[in-house]
Structure 1
Amino acid sequence: MKIKEMIVVEGKDDTVAIKRAVDADTIETNGSAVNERVLAQIELAQQRRGVIILTDPDYPGERIRRIISERIPACKHAFLPKREALSRTKNDLGVENASPEAIRYALRHAKKEEEELKVELIDRQDLLDAGLIAGPKAKQRRERLGIILNIGYANGKQFHKRLQKFRITAEEFARAVHQLFEEENNE
């Protein structure tokens, strides 16, 4: 699988994992202190080829994603579920631990944020009604729904923002929530 966009990752081990999964070029941020030189590289890559951000599913990874998105808002975002990025041998979470199949899936389902939203597609009440905000299973449900919709995990407020940024429609949301509830009923 050849990827035309540049893939932004955190480090060398992530690049190795990407190259095992796909034919692609990467830009390494070298951790969460994304410097001006790296941002300029990402900006140029976005203008010339496009960019997909694939960072670890943890706080530093989300911080990197946010820093880049604020500066270069047209990037695509690929997300790995935590269970796909968890090391089998040590308690380590990262892209470098993901299987080639998980990486290919995340890249195939990369989504672009949309800056100008004319209509709010899903409101906070929809999240409450689905048990995604408050309640004993809210965190687990957001995590599973993030996987189903390919938008990653976030807290309630950020999850709502992601639904908006990625323009998840009410119909897509309803289908995903239905799938979530079906899975819960089958447990």
Structure 2
Amino acid sequence: MIQEMIVVEGKDDTTAVRRAVGADTIETGGSAVGDDVLRRIELAQSRRGVIIFTDPDAPGERIRKIVAERVPGCKHAFLTKDEARGRNGIGVEHASDEAIRRALEVVRTADGDSGDYGEITWSDLLDTGLIVHASSARRRERMGELLGIGYANGKQFHKRCLMFRITRAEFLAALEQLEREGL
């Protein structure tokens, strides 16, 4: 069983996470995260730790940002859009048990300070076609999968590289894989 409390969006996500790993969850009830929910997450973080595990879509990213800003030191788990795709949309509840377990095995901890650590620069993103390139969105999506930081637009991708302290070696290894795949 996972020690940390897992923050998810709703009841169906809780059902999927419990089926896959038997963990305890806190449901945000959607993207309008209330103060009472944030206080429960703060308490959970102080006692057990927290993993934010939201849908790989705009509302999920909004929730992730709200929780991470209010509760520093949370861990983050990400699913790809393909792993979370179901007949009725995209969400944790549609992911296979295997995809959920994989995402929770490779959680990343945000530094809490997204200052520039000098590892990955904006120029690196430009030089590698991750921004301002015809295929930059697809390349960032795959790089996010390879690095375990999820999909983001160019600015957020750079911020995540800094926040999660992606090293140059990790970045170059993922880039090499991306090139092998012909992206």
The TM-score bracket by the shorter chain reads over 0.9
Listed one character per residue, the Cα deviations across residues 86-108 of structure 1 (whole Å, up to 9, x for unaligned) are 00xx2411000000000001001
Alignment correspondent of 1:103: 100
TM-score, normalised relative to structure 1: 0.95
1:120 aligns with 2:118: yes
C-alpha separation in 1, matches of 2:132 and 2:145: 19
1:156 aligns with 2:154: yes
C-alpha separation in 2, matches of 1:106 and 1:161: 20
For structure 1, the 5+ residue unaligned runs are none
C-alpha separation in 1, matches of 2:179 and 2:88: 30
C-alpha separation in 2, matches of 1:91 and 1:137: 27
Displacement after TM superposition at 1:135 (Å):
1.2
Displacement after TM superposition at 1:121 (Å):
1.1
Percentage of matched positions with identical amino acids: 60
| Contact 2:116–2:162 (Cα < 8 Å) also in 1 | no
1:51 aligns with 2:60: no
Listed one character per residue, the Cα deviations across residues 45-72 of structure 1 (whole Å, up to 9, x for unaligned) are 0000000000000000000000001100
C-alpha separation in 2, matches of 1:14 and 1:76: 17
Query: AA paired with 2:111?
Result: E
Alignment correspondent of 1:133: 131
For structure 2, the 5+ residue unaligned runs are none
Question: For 1:172-183, what aligned pairs fall within 5 Å after superposition?
Answer: 172-183=170-181
Q: Secondary structure at the match of 2:7?
A: strand
Alignment correspondent of 1:82: 81
Q: Secondary structure at the match of 2:89?
A: coil
Q: Secondary structure at the match of 2:82?
A: helix
Question: Structure 1 residues 183 and 99 mapped into 2: Cα distance closer, same or farther (>3 Å)?
Answer: same
C-alpha separation in 2, matches of 1:20 and 1:119: 39
C-alpha separation in 2, matches of 1:119 and 1:134: 23
Displacement after TM superposition at 1:184 (Å):
1.1
The Cα RMSD (Å) is 1.1
C-alpha separation in 2, matches of 1:151 and 1:131: 18
Query: AA paired with 1:100?
Result: D
Alignment correspondent of 2:145: 147
Listed one character per residue, the Cα deviations across residues 110-161 of structure 1 (whole Å, up to 9, x for unaligned) are 1000134462211011111110001111000000000000000000000000
Alignment correspondent of 1:72: 71
TM-score, normalised relative to structure 2: 0.97
Q: Structure 1 segments of 4 or more deviating over 3 A?
A: none
**Total equivalences in the alignment:** 182
Alignment correspondent of 1:93: 90
Query: AA paired with 1:155?
Result: N
Displacement after TM superposition at 1:73 (Å):
1.6
C-alpha separation in 2, matches of 1:40 and 1:26: 14
C-alpha separation in 1, matches of 2:80 and 2:71: 24
